[in-house]
Copies of this chain bind each other. A is one copy, B any other.
Amino acid sequence: MIAIDWGTSSARAYRLGPAGSVTERRETGRGIMQVAGGDFPAALRDLAGDWIAAGEGRVLLSGMIGSRQGWREVPYRACPAGLADLAAGVEAVPFPGAAVRIVPGLSARDASGIPEVMRGEEVQVFGALDGREEALLCLPGSHSKWVRVRGGRIAGFVTSLTGEAFAALREHTILGRMMRGAPEPGGAFDAGVARAAEPGGLLHHLFGTRTLGLFGRLPEAEAASYLSGLLIGHDVRANLPAGEAVDLIGSGPLMALYGRAIAACGGTARAGDPDAALRGLARIGETIAWECAWA
């Protein structure tokens, strides 16, 4: 089977051997927004045509590929939802030479009834759980997700615009003028996380990034770390119940930053599995019917 986590700006493809082992893997920057003319069959051939030609007849996709902007809009399943609910919502798309299926995303409502959506993270969650039935998971990113698992099902989740807000504030406000370099896990980041616990609110805390610089208390090389700590600190404090353990899912620099912020806020962060998507897709792939009208 071929498993592909196909998001907005990138795609990760895995060729699976027996018992879910990975025999080959590829990563490309060709997310759904980079597929010319929306020709997803051609993009799939580019990405994994040789694997299909070599005999892989089953392809399972997750992520924004199942959105309105993707190959086919697969309706969200509502929380609470388990692996079986995801499998039941899988839809087929026509593709010559292989059975291609897309996993649905999930919807939920937060405590105030505001809708929530995810596409792709739900598969990573089930891959990371590895059979556990109770967990709090965090998937840091442009739109960070906090996911609550109860009884082996995703009970609900909330999203914060943390990463995208950081980029917009850094690139397009006065704050970025006194900033050099990328956020690092260190003292300036910790100071931002600590600041998030103080009164005044995020909009006021943001302005402090500038005044601390003006008064020589925040060097330009540390200002991006402080701003990142402010935003991640606000995100973690809003979503982490006191003292709880959190499974971090993902890869890259955000893992260390979120891990540090969670610890500073009294929680325990467990480093996550960077191949969680693959494991989730493999589990779903084992359960669905692969009889294929278009093969």
Contact = CB atoms under 8 A, between A and B. Distances in A.
Contact of A160 (B158, B162, B203): B203
A52 to B, nearest CB: 33
B161 A199 contact: no
Interface of A: 110-112, 114-117, 143-144, 158-162, 164-165, 167-169, 171-175, 195, 198-204, 206-208, 211-212, 214-215, 217, 231, 234-235, 237-239
B169 A204 contact: no
A285 B287 CA distance: 82
- Looking at chain A's contact residues, the main secondary structure is helix
A177 to B, nearest CB: 11
A184 to B, nearest CB: 21
Contacts of A207: 116, 143, 159-161
A58 to B, nearest CB: 31
Contacts of A168: 168-169, 171-173
Contacts of A231: 203
27 contacts: A111-B199, A111-B200, A112-B199, A114-B211, A114-B212, A115-B217, A116-B211, A117-B211, A117-B214, A158-B200, A159-B207, A160-B206, A161-B173, A161-B204, A161-B206, A164-B174, A165-B169, A165-B173, A165-B203, A165-B206, A167-B173, A168-B172, A201-B239, A202-B203, A203-B231, A203-B234, A204-B239
